[in-house]
Amino acid sequence: MSFEIKRWDGLGKIANFQVNGKKMETPALFPVVHPVLQSISAKRLKDEFGFNQIITSAYLLKKKIDQGIEVKSIHSFLEFDGIIMMDSGAYQLMVYGDVELDQEGSMELQRKVGADIGVILDHPIGYNVSYIEARKRVETTIERVKDAISQMKDEDPIWTFPIQGGRYEELIEEYLEKCGTEDNLTNFGFFALGSVVQVMINQDYETMVKMITTARKMMPVEKPFHLFGAGHPAMFALAVFLGCDTFDSAAYSLMANDDRYMTSQRTYKLGELKTLPCVCPVCNGRTIEDLQKIKKEKRKTLLAEHNLWVSVEEIKRIKLAIERGNLWDLVWLRANSVPNLGRATKLAIQLYMEDPKFREIIIQGTPISKPYALNVFSPHDLMRPEILRVKGWVKEYLGTVDIKNPIIVFFEFGKSSFRKLPDLLLKEVPSEVVQRLFIFSPIFGVFPFGISESYPLSQNTSELTYNEISVADIREQIRKFQGKITIIKPISIKKDVIESLFNGYEFEIIESDKPGTMIVNLQSIDSRYSQN
């Protein structure tokens, strides 16, 4: 097995995953495929929809084998030559209680039929399970991990390390502290968060965020991380932002059974629609009336196909966002798509801001430079990793130097600024003065002129007003300044904006229609303080 990361954007990453000579690119969706009853065959999933990975059930396969069906190879049985992941029967264990498949039998079955990725028989935790019962199931899973490791063989699939604790974050932490040791993890090539299906069914995306965040920050970020039972494609971007590389879903088929029609924004009952807002092969050339006239079973298949196309499109859109470095924008675009997702997105950003460890791994995964300008459309964009990184640079710099009598240049808001300060304007200015030269940005606050060409300080666009900037952050930056502050600003910026930022400091305002040209007069400005 190999997992080669090609590009990061925070914890979202495009990577090549390879096992047994078969490849997939993450982020990736594993469509859930019933071993026998398939609305869309596994072969079609690959040939027509482009999925080189699926997941199927060891429990359901065993039931068919017990009925006399011979299965020598799961790949030949399903006519699928891509990556096949098999779950262990644990979901059925959660739903139905005890099942006729134990740990040894599940592992042997997955081994025998040649699964590429296997899952040990953990004990999932339902949505309404009490804390006491959840703790018992965590303890059971810990024992099963130990038991599974003792049964592993060289010819085995890549085994998945299940992460349990349900909606109880402290149990996830306790489980990983006890079970997620380096010695244990070396036996597994895949890592997966379980007990999510019923959370998704209840659209409790806030709990999903807490579960993913708790697990992701305690697991190696360079290893593939799977989310069992992801649902609507609207939440895929948020899951990837939080560090999920792969996920499986049966929603495409389950929703089709109930005449539900997916879009990347929401799900509609077929009867609600007057128009089919899609150009996939199912919808293109059909009217809503055409689709409603088709017999139920055929319509279910067509709706499942449409729902899959929507999922395929969303995965591609997420990959494009990672390539361009704007996954953050896509996450917020999707935030109000389905009920409760907006609150969950805000919670995710809150956790990212409040948890130093989680924030640091996201900032570390954010490229130091990106091929496109940074977009800042609303106050929540001020929390982007790229912006926090710059503020960290400035804080570190101001903590190591004494800045006396700084000169701060303001520019008109919303226009390209820093290219107006070419080095030629400063060639006659003493270096000691240049070291005191700062640029003001509503996005980044104040920062030394010396880093003004670094990404994204001179590669950004913004629609913020001065009422939306973080005054507290800026005042924290200028707290280190000593002496009198000279402020060069365009006439269009009101003086009360300056006064609100620099209240309590000694400062002088110099107005100019072209603040950049004032740089040539830095020597005359500086002479007024030469005797200080």
Q: How confident is the model at residue 500 (pLDDT cuts 50, 70, 90)?
A: confident
User: Hey, how many other C-beta atoms are within 10 angstroms of the C-beta on 528?
Assistant: 12
Q: How many CB atoms lie within 10 A of CB 335?
A: 20
Instruction: Band the pLDDT of 532: cuts 50, 70, 90.
Output: very low
Q: Is the pLDDT of residue 320 over 90?
A: yes
List Cα–Cα distances, 211 to 165, 340, 362, in angstroms: 8, 16, 17
Q: 474: which strand partners?
A: none
In terms of pLDDT, which residue wins out, 3 or 441? Answer: 3
pLDDT > 70? residue 24: yes
Distance in angstroms (rounded) separating the CA atoms of residues 29 and 157: 19
More confident residue, 515 or 23: 23
| Separation of first and last alpha carbons in the chain | 67
Domains of the chain listed by start with CATH number? 2-357 (3.20.20.105), 374-527 (3.40.50)
pLDDT interval class at 450 (50, 70, 90):
confident
Torsion, Cα of 518, 522, 525, 530 (10° steps) = 180
Q: What is the pLDDT of residue 461?
A: 85
Q: What is the pLDDT of residues 240-278, one digit of tens each?
A: 999 999 999 999 999 999 999 999 989 999 999 999 999
Percent of the chain at pLDDT above 90? Answer: 67
Average pLDDT in the 422-442 region? 75
Q: pLDDT band at residue 459, thresholds of 50, 70 and 90? A: confident
Does 193 have pLDDT greater than 80? yes
- Give the pLDDT confidence score for residue 530 in this predicted structure: 46
Tens of pLDDT, residue by residue over 206-224, are 999 999 999 999 999 989 9
pLDDT higher than threshold 90 for residue 458: no
Share of the chain above pLDDT 70, in %: 92
pLDDT at 41 over 60: yes
Is the predicted pLDDT of residue 423 greater than 80, yes or no? no
Residue range 10-23: mean pLDDT, rounded: 96
- The mean pLDDT of 410-426, rounded to a whole number, is 58
In sequence order, the 6+-apart residues with CB closer than 8 A to the CB of 228 are 87, 91, 192, 193, 194, 195, 196, 197, 247, 248
Q: Is the pLDDT of residue 412 over 90?
A: no
289-298, 465-474, 496-505: range with lowest mean pLDDT? 465-474
Q: What is the mean pLDDT of residues 465-472?
A: 82
In the predicted model, is pLDDT for residue 526 greater than 80?
A: no
Mean pLDDT of 335-360: 94
DSSP-assigned beta bridge partners for residue 161: 191
The per-residue pLDDT for range 123-153, each reduced to its tens digit, is 999 899 999 999 999 999 999 999 999 999 9
* Token reading at 217: 């920050």
As a whole number, the mean pLDDT across the chain is 90
Q: pLDDT band for 464, please (50, 70, 90 cuts).
A: confident
Could you give the CA distance from residue 131 to residue 138 in angstroms, rounded to a whole number?
10
Whether 428 shows a pLDDT value over 80: the answer reads: no
Cis peptide bond upstream of 456, omega within 30: yes
**Per-residue model confidence (pLDDT) at position 480:** 87
Confidence of residue 417 (pLDDT cuts 50, 70, 90): very low
Mean pLDDT for 477-506 is 88
Active site residues: 87
